Structure 1
Amino acid sequence: MTFETLCNEIIHRFNDDFARILKSVYLGHFEHLKEEDIKKYNITEKDDLLFYGKNRPIFKSLTFFNEIPVFRKEEDSILFLKDIGIPPSKTLNSLTYEEKIKLRNEFLNISKTIIPREYFIHVPKLIFGKEHYFKDVCLKEYVSTLNGIYKIGNKRKVMELIINRKIPEEKDVIKYRKILAKRINLFNKKLDDYEIRNFNINFNGKNFKCQYIYIKQTVWDKILGLFGEGIELKYYPTLVNIAYSNKKIDFLKPFFIFIDIDKNISVYARVPKLLYLKHGLSLNYLELKGKTTYFGNWERDKFWKIIEKGSL
């Protein structure tokens, strides 16, 4: 059961427009947000830096910004911030507007040293743009937090938070982060051992080379997951994003995680936003839900035909 399913349940039972908003944000469809609903729930919009982790130290936000993996180590982002005169321990939300513009410009300049020139025009849209806030919390991060708390088994609590328009307690956020951190460490160790393979997809008459890993989930893997020593499927939408922090993953190519389980293949995929901005690349035509981050299920026969052919 996904966060989308939970939102659908609340919408069906209570005809709740707030749950509709959260569902749209979860699926990445900000274009579905209605102005009247935004005003109704006091959701504000402002120009802001688009790095994730608005209330965490800036050096962490920059390190985990893998749309353009400028910094793969925290030490590098700390040094960068010190060089431009911004205290690394400050949060994004605590910066003045002038400091945000300075950070945007300096990050833009250093980004151009690692990406092809053809993408330069799109980089500013990744760094600075419109952000929505609910009770002074970034709406995307609010949804991400609710989804995280839901993943660790607190369905009732998350339903109450949505229905009552409340912010999660810090203790619940910390609990989820600890559990997620363990899954990330497990995944990173496995990713180092996985073979990165390739296949091609065709979108609007253009071929895109994709990278993927294939995971055959065993009964033992399921048992480990129950005891917190494995990786449950519900964490892979997050992990397919985090994978771009690994040097093995090309940050300018779509990345797929195929998990062979029972009679189906669970599919988790990510399209780099630079590709989306330049080419409009979407994976919805592959029967996957989402926008830039995708998920869904394929029949095993369909998957193996794609792999054997090497293209879709």
Structure 2
Amino acid sequence: MAFDELCDEVILNCEDGKDFAYILKLTYLNEFEKIKNLDFKKFGIIEKDDLLFYGKNYPLFKSLLFFNEIPVFRREKESILFLKSIKINPRDTLNSLSYKEKIKLGNEFLKRCLKFVPKEYISYIPYLIFGKEYYFKGVCLKEYVSALNGLYKIGKKNKVKKLIINRELPNEGDVKKYKKKLAKKIILFKKKLNIYEINYFNLKFNDKNFECQYIYIKQSFWDKISGLFGEGIELKYYPTLVNIAYSSEKVDFMKPLFIFVDGGDISVYAKVPKLIYLKDELTLNHLNLKGKYVYFGNWKKDKFWEIVGEGR
């Protein structure tokens, strides 16, 4: 069960919590345009003009490093030197910056992005950096949902449901437990990514052909067992890892990426770069996948070969 399905349980079974759960579900699925049409203010959610970097309370050099829609920086040192060059403390946080400082940071970062992006996509870069963010009790709504989803992944389903129903923030200790576990999965995935072969297929959408990259992982019996004991990578982590993959030089940040995990049926995790979505309007919902930008779902083997085989 994914986090959106957990939200569905609350929506179906709890009258008091259903509207808030619906907002969290939309946030998880990146359907922010639908949130704009809801009365989100009654839940204490506010909308702000902001920078769209993840990690509002992380040191700035880490927030910039995590931004892999355009991987300007791949090492901490590069991010730190950039911030120092524009006279912003690398250890400040996004939430600690004034509005003027945020504009300065966003504009300087945008200039760096211009060096990496094909000319026809340049006009879309500002939409990746500047925009609206939603905040709940002082926490970025996306990061609040990420924390709840993390707690759910480490087996705290009932606690997460209570937090949603009561509209409360999670315990920081629980969040740290999840982040510690996730960090181990990321390290393991990055090691495996160096070994994985990246293949390609063409995907036709709206009379256009898009070259997609993919990783095929054949899950053995022992992979499943090791995952249960925390030594492998469980499927529930792949929606995060397909995004993390773009921080690798091995992955082309201007092409959609699919991770196919073959455990009998095919578990599918994919990402469409936002620049591709903004310019070419590419989505993957027509492939029976849920989400926006980051997608997930399950296919039968026939479906997998139909899409990947024909696209070779």
Q: Same fold (TM over 0.5)?
A: yes
Among 183, 189, 205, the residue aligned to 1:203: 205
SS in 2 for 1:193: coil
- The answer as to whether partners of 1:132 and 1:138 remain within 8 angstroms in 2 is yes
Tell me how far apart the structure 1 counterparts of residues 243 and 290 of structure 2 sit (CA, whole Å): 15
1:76–1:286 Cα change, 3 Å: same
Counterparts of 1:289 and 1:217 in 2: how far apart (Å)?
22
Between the aligned partners of 2:190 and 2:275, the Cα distance in structure 1 is: 24
* Paired AA for residue 171 in structure 1: G
Contact 1:217 1:259 in 2 (8 A): yes
Q: Which residue of 1 aligns with 2:298?
A: 297
For 2:123 and 2:91, how far apart are their aligned partners in 1?
A: 30
Aligned to 2:295, what secondary structure does the other structure show? strand
The residue correspondences of 1:207-222 to structure 2 (distance < 5 A) are 207-222=209-224
Q: Which amino acid aligns with 1:45?
A: E
SS in 1 for 2:249: coil
Residues 118 and 180 of structure 1, relative CA distance in 2, 3 Å threshold: same
RMSD of aligned residue pairs (Cα, Å): 0.9
If the length of structure 1 is used for normalisation, what is the TM-score? Answer: 0.98
The DSSP-based 3-state class of the residue aligned with 1:69 is: coil
Amino acid at match of 2:4: E
Q: TM-score, normalised on structure 2?
A: 0.98
Looking at structure 2, the residues matched to 36 and 66 of structure 1 have their Cα atoms a distance apart, in angstroms, of: 30
In the aligned structure 2, how far is the partner of 1:304 from the partner of 1:35?
A: 39
- Give the deviation of 1:36 after TM superposition: 4.7
Matched, 1:192 2:194: yes
Please list the CA deviations of residues 46-76 of structure 1 after superposition, one character each: whole Å capped at 9, or x if unmatched: 1000000001101000001000000000110
Flag the 1:96–1:250 CA change in 2: closer, same or farther, 3 A. same
Distance 2:311 2:269 in 1: 18
C-alpha displacement at 1:34, in angstroms? 5.1
Alignment partner, residue 20 of structure 1: 22
Alignment of 1:41-80 (within 5 A): 41-80=43-82
Deviation at 1:302, TM superposition (A): 1.8
Deviates more, 1:36-45 or 1:184-193: 36-45
Give the corresponding residue for 2:266: 265
Deviations 1:88-115 (A, max 9, x none): 0000000011110000110000100111
Shift of 1:117: 1.2
Q: Which position in structure 2 is the counterpart of 1:95?
A: 97
- 1:237 is matched with 239
Distance 1:104 1:58 in 2: 12
5+ long unaligned stretches in structure 2: none
Residue 158 in 1 paired to residue 160 in 2? yes
Structure 2 counterpart SS, 1:173 = helix
**3-state SS, counterpart of residue 103 of structure 1:** helix
Distance 2:22 2:11 in 1: 7
Q: Match of 1:126, SS?
A: helix
Residue identity matched to 2:61: F
* Equivalent pairs, count: 310
1:203–1:35 distance in 2 versus 1, CA, 3 Å:
closer
**1:278 alignment partner, SS class:** helix
Task: Indicate if the aligned counterparts of 1:213 and 1:257 stay in contact, CA closer than 8 A.
Answer: yes
Paired residues for 1:114-129 under 5 Å? 114-129=116-131
- The within-5 A match list for 1:126-145 is 126-145=128-147
* AA matched with 1:248: K
Aligned-pair CA distance for 1:310:
2.5
Superimposed CA distance per residue, residues 214-239 of structure 1 (whole angstroms, 9 cap, x where no aligned partner)? 00101100111111110000000000
Equivalent residue of 1:71, what SS?
coil
- Once residues 104 and 111 of structure 2 are traced to their aligned partners in structure 1, the CA distance between those partners, rounded to angstroms, is 11
Given that residues 17 and 37 in structure 1 are in contact (C-alpha distance below 8 angstroms), is that contact kept between their aligned partners in structure 2?
Answer: no
Q: Distance in 1 between matches of 2:206 and 2:287?
A: 13
CA distance in 1 between counterparts of 2:119 and 2:52 reads 22
